[in-house]
């Protein structure tokens, strides 16, 4: 009798692991990343966006992909998702990138990461998202089936067709996925906290707006009405500045991601989305400018001038060496001028000259510190600034020179007739010269040592020595107000 040989069992194929890109593999959205690049490099082209959108989102994405260069190395990848993909790749499992982003950009990202066996993306005609993605993946992987890693509400339809889900995002999204398929893993990340938004708005920079009260303080004006008006101006200037800080951070998004400490900013880290930032910036700016003109036309014009100059700085002027620090220092002077306008307080020309050199020194210290800490970015030309590493010594010389110039002008200011009319013993004000010079010199010492990692004014808020300097200055000013002619 012949022996009977049993047939070999068919090999069971593992379901392909499909991974979404926007909001899943990266913290953010490639479409908005492209729009930011276009805003920074070719802003006039943004006028074409509505016309491209008329032909569909897939067409819009293709048009953007054809016009910009997006460096995949500068995208905010989720490390936990990368770890998952590397673990699955090590087992021999097939992995596919399935995204609504344009195919050209998706393939660039896939080549950079080297984790994907195949790429499926929008092709300029079909937007591979939601129901379109679900139908395509179900048909393409009909034999093996697929598991899907996603994050958005549009991915619920894809999970419905998948054998299992990996969920990135909130607990609520995980519950939605569990209602339609098996959840094999979750990477839960809460929405941006209040603290994160305060950081994005640069809440600590609102301390700079105290400069609006300087004209009142210098004129010893304690009337209620100008103080109340200045308080309102303080808030509006804060809204305007915060809106502009957000816009600046968005424009600097890609260079900030390679910066030693700026990469921790909320937008660079992907903690807040680009559209949320653009919306917040728009609301803050329109509210501040509209209410500013209602409050005082001259103040509104000053606020508009500040906003216009800041936007020009963010788009163009910051790339021009030296001009950038002059513009940066003028932002402080804008605050003093705005305070004078809203409180109807005249300013001494001597004091304006002192302010110019004082804040120019601080602006140069800030730029010097950035060149010191981001030398690699400067060498590769990715710093977003127009400097070379060898320019640090020049900035050091110019900044220290500006410090001494400011103190010399201040010594002349305290001898002016305006000051003598306000102080009973103005001779004591000369003691402020060594105090101010000490604080400026110490700021430059910290910068030279590499210990100045933020705006000098912001540093002063958390610096005990700066509070000591402020106390000594207050004592000197109090003494100058006492009549010593006994």
- Asked whether residue 376 is assigned to any structural domain, the reply reads yes
Looking at the fold, whether 228 and 164 belong to one and the same domain comes out as no
pLDDT of residue 76: 92
Report if residue 8 sits inside a domain. no
Residue 3 lies in a domain: no
Residues 148 and 36 in one domain: yes
257-295 burial, b at 16+ Cβ within 10 Å, e below that, comes to bbbeebeebbbbbbbbbbebbbebbeebbeebbebbbeb
Q: pLDDT digit string (tens) for 399-420?
A: 999 999 999 999 998 888 878 8
Each residue's pLDDT tens digit, 352-408: 899 999 999 999 999 998 888 766 655 555 555 678 888 889 999 999 999 999 999
Q: Is the pLDDT of residue 95 over 50?
A: yes
Look at 4 and 288; give whichever has higher pLDDT: 288
Q: Are 179 and 201 part of one and the same domain? A: no
Computed over every residue of the chain, the mean pLDDT equals 90
- Boundary-marking domain end, from 173, 188, 203: 188
Same domain, yes or no, for 397 and 430?
yes
486 within domain boundaries: no
pLDDT of residue 376: 60
Q: Is residue 11 assigned to a domain? A: no
In a shared domain, residues 387 and 268: yes
Distance of alpha carbon 268 from alpha carbon 306, whole angstroms? 25
Q: What is the pLDDT of residue 10?
A: 43
d(CA 244, CA 429): 37
* Chain mean position to CA 322: 22
Residues 107 and 33 placed together within one structural domain of the fold = yes
Q: Answer yes or no: is 286 within a domain.
A: yes
CA atoms of 156 and 173, how far apart (whole Å): 8
10 Å Cβ neighbour count for 36?
Answer: 21
CATH of the domain at 301: 1.10.600
Q: In terms of domains, do 317 and 381 share one?
A: yes
Among 188, 203, 223, residue at a domain's last position: 188
Query: Which of 187, 168, 30, 1 lies closest to 102 in space, CA to CA?
Result: 30
Mean pLDDT of 263-277: 91
Give the residue from 238, 386, 251, 393 showing the smallest Cα distance to 322.
Answer: 386
CATH number of the domain where residue 60 is located: 3.40.50.1000
Among 150, 188, 139, 180, residue whose Cα is nearest residue 163: 180
Predicted pLDDT of residue 1:
35
Kindly state whether residue 220 falls inside one of the protein's structural domains.
Answer: yes
Based on the domain organization, do 249 and 222 belong to the same domain?
Answer: yes
Taking only the tens place, the pLDDT of each residue in 9-38 is 444 568 999 999 999 999 999 999 999 999
**pLDDT for position 3:** 38
Residues 120 and 36 reside in one and the same domain? yes
Tell me the pLDDT tens digit for each residue of 155-177: 999 999 999 999 999 999 999 99
One domain, residues 93 and 223: no
| pLDDT surpasses 60 at 346 | yes
Q: Give me the pLDDT at residue 123, please.
A: 94
pLDDT, one tens digit per residue, over 194-232 is 899 999 999 888 988 999 999 999 888 888 999 999 999
| Cα distance between residue 8 and residue 3, in whole Å | 16
In a 3-state reduction of DSSP, which class is residue 193? Answer: coil
**261 and 151 co-located in one domain:** no
Distances (CA, A) of 473 to 216, 341, 428, 434, 478: 17, 26, 10, 10, 9
Q: Are residues 397 and 412 in the same domain?
A: yes
Which of 188, 208, 224 is where one domain is finished?
Answer: 188
Q: What is the pLDDT of residues 38-75, one digit of tens each?
A: 988 888 999 999 999 999 999 999 999 999 999 999 99
Looking at the structure of the chain, the number of domains it has is 2
pLDDT at residue 293 in the model: 95
Q: Which domain holds residue 27?
A: 16-188
Does 304 map to a domain? Answer: yes
Alpha-carbon gap, residue 147 to 182, rounded angstroms: 10
Q: Region 133-139: what's the mean pLDDT?
A: 96
Residue 320 has pLDDT above 80, yes or no: yes
């Amino acid at each position: 009798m012949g022996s009977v040989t049993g047939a070999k069992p068919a090999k069971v194929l593992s379901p392909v692991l499909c991974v979404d890109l926007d909001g899943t593999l990266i913290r953010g959205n490639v479409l908005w990343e492209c729009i930011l690049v276009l805003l920074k490099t070719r802003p006039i082209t943004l006028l074409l966006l509505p016309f491209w959108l008329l032909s569909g989102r897939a067409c819009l994405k293709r048009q953007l992909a054809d016009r910009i260069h997006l460096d995949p190395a500068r995208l905010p990848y989720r490390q936990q998702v990368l770890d998952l993909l590397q673990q699955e790749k090590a087992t021999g499992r097939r992995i596919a990138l399935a995204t609504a982003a344009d195919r050209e950009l998706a393939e660039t990202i896939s080549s950079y990461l080297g984790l994907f066996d195949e790429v499926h993306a929008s092709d300029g005609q079909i937007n591979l998202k939601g129901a379109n993605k679900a139908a395509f993946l179900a048909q393409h992987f009909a034999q093996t089936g697929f598991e899907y890693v996603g994050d958005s509400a549009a991915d619920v339809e894809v999970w419905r067709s998948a054998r299992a889900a990996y969920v990135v995002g909130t607990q609520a999204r995980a519950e939605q996925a569990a209602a339609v398929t098996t959840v094999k893993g979750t990477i839960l990340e809460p929405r941006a906290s209040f603290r994160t938004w305060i950081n994005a708005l640069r809440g600590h920079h609102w301390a700079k707006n105290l400069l609006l009260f300087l004209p009142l303080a210098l004129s010893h004006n304690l009337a209620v009405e100008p103080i109340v008006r200045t308080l309102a101006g303080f808030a509006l200037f804060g809204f305007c500045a915060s809106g502009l800080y957000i816009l600046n951070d968005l424009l600097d998004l890609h260079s900030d991601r390679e910066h030693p400490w700026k990469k921790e900013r909320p937008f660079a880290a992907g903690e807040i989305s680009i559209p949320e930032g653009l919306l917040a910036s728009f609301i803050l700016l329109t509210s501040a400018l509209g209410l500013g003109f209602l409050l005082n036309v001259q103040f509104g014009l000053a606020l508009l001038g500040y906003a216009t100059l800041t936007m020009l700085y963010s788009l163009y002027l910051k790339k021009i060496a030296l001009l950038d620090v002059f513009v940066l220092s003028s932002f402080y002077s804008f605050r003093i001028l705005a305070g004078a306008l809203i409180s109807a307080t005249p300013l001494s020309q001597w004091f304006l000259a002192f302010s110019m050199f004082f804040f120019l020194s601080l602006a140069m210290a800030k730029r010097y510190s950035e060149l010191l800490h981001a030398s690699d970015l400067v060498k590769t030309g990715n710093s977003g600034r127009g400097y070379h590493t060898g320019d640090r010594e020049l900035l050091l010389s110019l900044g220290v020179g500006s410090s001494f110039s400011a103190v010399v002008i201040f010594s002349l200011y305290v001898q002016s007739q305006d000051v003598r009319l306000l102080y009973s013993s103005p001779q004591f004000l000369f003691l402020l010269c060594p105090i101010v010079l000490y604080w400026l010199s110490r700021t430059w010492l910290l910068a030279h040592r590499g210990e100045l990692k933020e705006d000098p004014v912001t540093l002063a808020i958390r610096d005990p020595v700066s509070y000591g300097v402020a106390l000594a200055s207050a004592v000197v000013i109090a003494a100058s107000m006492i009549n010593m002619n006994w």
